[in-house]
Structure 1
Amino acid sequence: MVLSKIDLRKKLVQITLEKKKLTNVVARVGIVLDITGSMQNLYKNGTVQEVVERILAVACKFDDNAALDVWVYDTHFSRLPSVTEKDFDQYVEKHIMNNTTIHKFGRNNEPPVMEDVIHKYTVEENSPTPVFIIFINDGGVVKPIKKVIVNAAVQPIFWQFIGIGSSDFEVLRQLDTMEGRVVDNANFFHLNDIRAISDEMLYDQLLNEFPKWIKEATEKRIIRQ
């Protein structure tokens, strides 16, 4: 039997989970996509669709309902329908590019979308089940996100920021060293060209800090496993 691309990716995620001792972890998974002006080309050339598909494989392994929750943001944000194996094809085209209600290609403003992520998982769907958020950004992050991250350290949410492109990502690089948090609830890594990294390497980096947070957040009773 020839495996589909999503099935192949799920196998690679499984290998990574075994390596990092995460096979027993259940987590809700979400992705936040930068849709500022500088991202326009990455939406048009299929890169963002590819990112959604690659992250969906992670959600399929972690999430009970195998769904990936989706947000996009520039100065405004939109919470979009979750994506699953049944409907990921052309997701970006259908739900983002052809969606006239979405504010697109403006400037950066991260705190409002982050507050909506927190609201969804701690108010609307309040649960001690861990949340794994992958946050895609190509630079120009506003400094007030630091306060949001510090305040959210008591919540069952881990923020994995991925910087793409050639910005310096000064604010995001400081996330690991921020003080005043119960646990280190955020991580950042930079990929100059996300298309150039293999699935294996992407999943390895993506899940690098998550196990440490799971351990610490469990010890502090922020999450239950």
Structure 2
Amino acid sequence: MALAPIDLRKKIVQITLEKKKLTHVEARVGIVLDITGSMQTLYKNGTVQEVVERILAVASKFDDNGALDVWVYDTHFSRLPSVTERDFKDYVQNQILNNAAIHKFGRNNEPPVMEDVIRKYTVEEDTGVPVFIIFINDGGVVKPIKKVITAAAVQPIFWQFVGIGHSDFEVLKQLDTMEGRIVDNANFFHLDDIAATSDEMLYDQLLHEFPSWLKAAEEKRIIRR
């Protein structure tokens, strides 16, 4: 019997984890989705749903309850119900596009949603377990995110920014060289077309810098493993 796409992706994630010596790591996994106006086509054509499913495979391997926490943002943000293997089908349509309460397709403002991510994992649910946040963005981010990331370096949260599309991502490209942090807690890579990127390449890039952050964060006693 052919494997379902989610099961195939979990196999690819497992291979990636073995390659990067991450098979024994437990982590909370969250995704922050840009829902500004320029993202409208990617929501309507199913690309964002596909991204959620691809990242869910990572959460299924890292998180003991297999849940992927979800946020969307433009000038406002919404913290959405977590998604699991039981309910991922049509998640974007049902939870985001059909939800009139969600502010969508406006301009971008990242710090408020980032502060809510920090609040969830360090105030509301402070477990000490590492947190892996995948932040999908298709354009410029506001410069104050640098201040948020610098202040959050003491928290057990790693921020993996993924730029999609054809913007210059000037601020995000500077993340690796930002000074004044106890550990390097953020990484960025750019994909012109995320839908055309293979699962193997996506997972390899997503998990490229997470291992070195885990090591540094453990040495600085930011996380307990």
Interval of TM-score (by shorter of Structure 1 and Structure 2) = over 0.9
Equivalent in the alignment of 1:23: 23
1:127 deviates by: 1.6
What does the per-residue CA deviation read over 1:72-117, in whole Å, with 9 as the maximum and x for residues that have no partner?
Answer: 0000000000000000000000000000000000000000000000
Q: What is the correspondence of 1:103-118 to structure 2 with a 5 Å cutoff?
A: 103-118=103-118
Q: Tell me, which stretches of 5 or more residues in structure 2 are unaligned?
A: none
**C-alpha separation in 2, matches of 1:193 and 1:9:** 19
What does the per-residue CA deviation read over 1:22-49, in whole Å, with 9 as the maximum and x for residues that have no partner?
Answer: 0000000000000000000000000000
Equivalent in the alignment of 2:198: 198
Equivalent in the alignment of 1:81: 81
Equivalent in the alignment of 1:64: 64
Matched AA of 2:130: P
Q: What is the correspondence of 1:83-162 to structure 2 with a 5 Å cutoff?
A: 83-162=83-162
**C-alpha separation in 1, matches of 2:190 and 2:161:** 9
Q: Tell me, which stretches of 5 or more residues in structure 1 are unaligned?
A: none
**C-alpha separation in 1, matches of 2:21 and 2:41:** 37
Equivalent in the alignment of 1:207: 207
**C-alpha separation in 2, matches of 1:217 and 1:140:** 28
1:140 deviates by: 1.9
Equivalent in the alignment of 1:172: 172
Matched AA of 1:109: N
1:128 deviates by: 1.1
Matched AA of 1:171: V
**C-alpha separation in 2, matches of 1:127 and 1:26:** 12
What does the per-residue CA deviation read over 1:189-212, in whole Å, with 9 as the maximum and x for residues that have no partner?
Answer: 000000111000000000000000
The normalised TM-score by structure 2 is 1.00
SS state at 1:120 partner: helix
Dislocated runs of 4+, deviation >2 Å: none
Matched AA of 2:26: V
1:121 deviates by: 0.1
SS state at 1:72 partner: strand
Matched AA of 1:116: D
**C-alpha separation in 1, matches of 2:220 and 2:15:** 28
Matched AA of 2:201: M
Indicate whether 1:55 and 2:59 are aligned. no
**C-alpha separation in 1, matches of 2:150 and 2:140:** 19
Indicate whether 1:37 and 2:37 are aligned. yes
- Percent of matched pairs sharing the same residue: 83
Equivalent in the alignment of 1:11: 11
1:167 deviates by: 0.1
What does the per-residue CA deviation read over 1:161-208, in whole Å, with 9 as the maximum and x for residues that have no partner?
Answer: 000000000000000000000000000000000011100000000000
**C-alpha separation in 2, matches of 1:204 and 1:119:** 29
**C-alpha separation in 2, matches of 1:154 and 1:108:** 26
